[in-house]
Structure 1
Amino acid sequence: MAASHTDAGRSLAQGDSTTTLAPSVPPTAISSAQKLNQLFDSPKEPKKITGSIEKTTATAAAAAVEDRAPDGGYGWVCTFCSFMIHANTWGVGSPWGIFLDRYISQGTFARVGRFEYAIIGGLAMAMALIVAPLANRCKIALGTRGTIVLGSVIASIGVHTSSTASKVWHLVLSYGVCYGLGMGIVYIPTLSVVGPWFSIHRSLAIGIATAGSGFGGLGYSLLAGKLIATYGIPWTWRIMSYMMFFCNFFCGLLVRESPVTKSPVNNPVAAKSSSFSFHIFTRPQVLLILIWGFMVELGYVSLFFSLPSHATSLGLDLNQGSIVQAVLSLGIGIGRPCVGWVSDRQGRINTALLMTLFCGLISLTLWIYARSYPPLLVFAFLAGISSGTFWSTANPIVTEVVGLRQSSATYSAVCLVMALPATFGEAIALQFVDESRTDDAKFLPSQVYVGCTYFVGAVALLMLRAWRVWQLQRNLAVVEDAEVAGVVPEEKRVYGWMMPRMWIKVVKV
Structure 2
Amino acid sequence: MSDHTPIDMIRSCDYDRELASQDPSSAYKETRHRQSQGLSSQLAQQQNAAPEVLEDKYQRDIPPDGGYGWVCVACVFWINAHTWGINSSYGVFLSYYLSHDVFPNTSALSYAFTGGLSISCALLVAPLATYLIPVYGTRLVLNTGVFFETLSLIGSSFATQRWHIFLSQGVCFGWGMGFLFVGSVGIIPQWFSRRRSLAMGINAAGSGLGGLIYSLAVGSMIPRLGLGWAFRILGIIACVVNLTCANLLRDRNKDVGSHHKAFDSALLKRPEFLLFLGWGVFSMLGYVAILFSVANFALSVGLSSHQGSVVSALLNLGQGLGRPFVGMFSDKLGRINIATFLSFCCGLFCLVIWVFARSMGVVCFFAILVGTVAGTYWATVTPVLAEILGLRDLPSGLSITWIVLVAPTTVSEAIALVLRDNESQGSVYLRVQIFTGFMYIGATLCLWVVRGWKVGDINRKARLRSATVVGAIDNAVVKMEGFCGTGDEKNNQAAVASSRSDSGSEIKIWSPVTLLCGMVTPKRV
| Shorter-chain TM-score above 0.5 | yes
Q: Counterparts of 2:137 and 2:504 in 1: how far apart (Å)?
A: 47
Deviation of 1:61 after TM superposition, in Å, equals: 4.1
Q: Does 1:164 align with 2:180?
A: no
1:142 is matched with which residue? 136
Q: Counterparts of 1:287 and 1:57 in 2: how far apart (Å)?
A: 32
Q: Secondary structure at the match of 1:164?
A: coil
Deviation of 1:123 after TM superposition, in Å, equals: 0.2
1:455 is matched with which residue? 441
Q: Counterparts of 1:316 and 1:324 in 2: how far apart (Å)?
A: 10
**Superposed, which structure 2 residues align to 1:403-442 within 5 Å?**
403-438=390-425, 440-442=426-428
> Which structure features the higher share of helix residues?
2
Please give the per-residue CA displacement for 1:328-367, whole angstroms capped at 9, x wherever unaligned: 0000111111100000000000001110111111111111
1:445 is matched with which residue? 431
- Indicate if the aligned counterparts of 1:470 and 1:496 stay in contact, CA closer than 8 A: no
1:504 is matched with which residue? 520
> Structure 1 pair 59/449, CA: closer, same or farther in 2 (3 Å)?
farther
Q: Does 1:359 align with 2:334?
A: no
| Gapped regions of structure 1 (runs ≥ 5) | 1-54
Amino acid aligned to 2:448: L
**Superposed, which structure 2 residues align to 1:92-111 within 5 Å?**
92-111=86-105
**Aligned mate of 1:124, from 105, 109, 118:** 118
Please give the per-residue CA displacement for 1:169-208, whole angstroms capped at 9, x wherever unaligned: 1111111111111110011111111110000000110110
Q: Counterparts of 1:378 and 1:225 in 2: how far apart (Å)?
A: 20
Amino acid aligned to 1:245: C
**Aligned mate of 2:254, from 229, 239, 262:** 262
> Structure 1 pair 58/478, CA: closer, same or farther in 2 (3 Å)?
farther
1:50 is matched with which residue? none
Amino acid aligned to 2:335: R
Q: Counterparts of 1:283 and 1:293 in 2: how far apart (Å)?
A: 16
Amino acid aligned to 1:504: V
1:63 is matched with which residue? 59
Q: Counterparts of 1:170 and 1:278 in 2: how far apart (Å)?
A: 36
Q: Counterparts of 2:52 and 2:159 in 1: how far apart (Å)?
A: 60
Greater RCO between the two (CA within 8 Å, min separation 6)? 1
Q: Counterparts of 1:452 and 1:300 in 2: how far apart (Å)?
A: 12
Q: Counterparts of 1:275 and 1:436 in 2: how far apart (Å)?
A: 47
Deviation of 1:99 after TM superposition, in Å, equals: 2.5
1:278 is matched with which residue? 265
> Structure 1 pair 466/57, CA: closer, same or farther in 2 (3 Å)?
farther
Greater displacement, 219-228 / 273-282? 273-282
Please give the per-residue CA displacement for 1:372-410, whole angstroms capped at 9, x wherever unaligned: 111211111111011100011010111111111100110
2:10 is matched with which residue? none
2:108 is matched with which residue? 114
1:288 is matched with which residue? 275
Instruction: Compute the TM-score of the two structures, normalised by the length of structure 1.
Output: 0.83
1:470 is matched with which residue? 456
Kindly name which structure, 1 or 2, has the bigger radius of gyration based on alpha carbons: 2
Amino acid aligned to 1:190: S
Q: Counterparts of 1:233 and 1:441 in 2: how far apart (Å)?
A: 31
Amino acid aligned to 1:249: L
1:239 is matched with which residue? 233
Deviation of 1:210 after TM superposition, in Å, equals: 1.3
- Indicate if the aligned counterparts of 1:467 and 1:498 stay in contact, CA closer than 8 A: no
Q: Counterparts of 1:491 and 1:508 in 2: how far apart (Å)?
A: 22
| Gapped regions of structure 2 (runs ≥ 5) | 1-50, 471-498
- Indicate if the aligned counterparts of 1:490 and 1:496 stay in contact, CA closer than 8 A: no
Q: Counterparts of 1:58 and 1:466 in 2: how far apart (Å)?
A: 32
> Structure 1 pair 106/387, CA: closer, same or farther in 2 (3 Å)?
closer
2:149 is matched with which residue? 155
1:209 is matched with which residue? 203
Instruction: Give the % identical residues.
Output: 37
- Indicate if the aligned counterparts of 1:336 and 1:389 stay in contact, CA closer than 8 A: yes
Q: Counterparts of 1:442 and 1:147 in 2: how far apart (Å)?
A: 43
How many residues are treated as equivalent by the alignment?
Answer: 443
Deviation of 1:498 after TM superposition, in Å, equals: 5.4
Q: Counterparts of 1:58 and 1:476 in 2: how far apart (Å)?
A: 25
- Indicate if the aligned counterparts of 2:90 and 2:292 stay in contact, CA closer than 8 A: no
**Superposed, which structure 2 residues align to 1:293-332 within 5 Å?**
293-332=280-319
1:24 is matched with which residue? none
Deviation of 1:59 after TM superposition, in Å, equals: 5.2
**Superposed, which structure 2 residues align to 1:40-79 within 5 Å?**
61-65=57-61, 68-79=62-73
Q: Counterparts of 1:506 and 1:489 in 2: how far apart (Å)?
A: 24
Amino acid aligned to 1:464: V
Amino acid aligned to 1:293: G
Amino acid aligned to 2:153: V
2:374 is matched with which residue? 387
Q: Counterparts of 1:471 and 1:285 in 2: how far apart (Å)?
A: 11
Q: Counterparts of 2:200 and 2:511 in 1: how far apart (Å)?
A: 32
Q: Counterparts of 1:393 and 1:491 in 2: how far apart (Å)?
A: 30
Deviation of 1:495 after TM superposition, in Å, equals: 2.2
- Indicate if the aligned counterparts of 1:274 and 1:405 stay in contact, CA closer than 8 A: no
- Indicate if the aligned counterparts of 2:219 and 2:309 stay in contact, CA closer than 8 A: no
Q: Secondary structure at the match of 2:392?
A: helix
2:465 is matched with which residue? 479
1:348 is matched with which residue? 335
Deviation of 1:319 after TM superposition, in Å, equals: 1.4
- Indicate if the aligned counterparts of 2:197 and 2:335 stay in contact, CA closer than 8 A: yes
Q: Counterparts of 2:260 and 2:101 in 1: how far apart (Å)?
A: 50
Deviation of 1:496 after TM superposition, in Å, equals: 4.0
Please give the per-residue CA displacement for 1:284-324, whole angstroms capped at 9, x wherever unaligned: 11101100110011001111111122222111111111111
> Structure 1 pair 107/357, CA: closer, same or farther in 2 (3 Å)?
closer
Q: Secondary structure at the match of 2:427?
A: coil
1:222 is matched with which residue? 216
